[in-house]
Amino acid sequence: MKGVNVYNEANDKVGDVYDIIIDSQGRVRGLVIEAGGFLGMGTHYVLVAMSSLKFANKAGKTTEGMTSETAREWFPDRAVINVTKDQLKSMPEFKY
C-alpha cells in the first residue's frame, strides 16, 4: 500500500500513503499520509485512522499501465479521504 495516491471526495490528489503503523499486537493503528512538499522539502506527515479512508479501484493506472477497470491488482489504485489538501496539511504532524 505504500505509495498509493490519496484523493479527496472532489477527486483532487491530497497526498500519498507513506507508511503503515502497526502496534505490538499486529493491529493496524493507521496510515501515515505524506502531504505537500517537493523533492523531500516541506513534506508534512499525518497519521490517519483506517476508518477515515475508503479504498477504490477506479480512475487510476496500475503498474502495467492499464486502468483498474480492465485489470485488477492486489492493491487498491487509490485511497479517498474527506478533507482538502490544506486541511490535511493543518493536521498535527506525525513524528516517528
Q: What is the pLDDT of residue 62?
A: 36
The Cβ-side half-sphere exposure at 9, using a 13 Å CA radius, reads: 3
| Per-domain boundaries in the chain | 5-90
Residue 10 is predicted with a pLDDT of: 87
Which pLDDT does position 55 carry in this prediction? 83
Q: What is the pLDDT of residue 93?
A: 93
Q: What torsion do the CA atoms of 81, 84, 85, 90 make, to the nearest 10 degrees?
A: -100
Q: Edge-to-edge strands of the sheet including 78-81?
A: 44-48, 28-35, 13-22, 5-7, 78-81, 53-56
- Profile the chain (96 residues) by mean pLDDT over runs of 10 residues: 88 92 93 79 87 76 45 71 89 91
Closest by alpha carbon to 13, among 77, 91, 71? 77
- β-pairing, 78-81 with 44-48? unpaired
Q: What is the CATH number of domain 5-90?
A: 2.30.30.240
C-alpha cell at 77: 489504485
**What pLDDT is attached to residue 65?**
44
pLDDT of residue 27: 92
pTM of this prediction?
Answer: 0.75
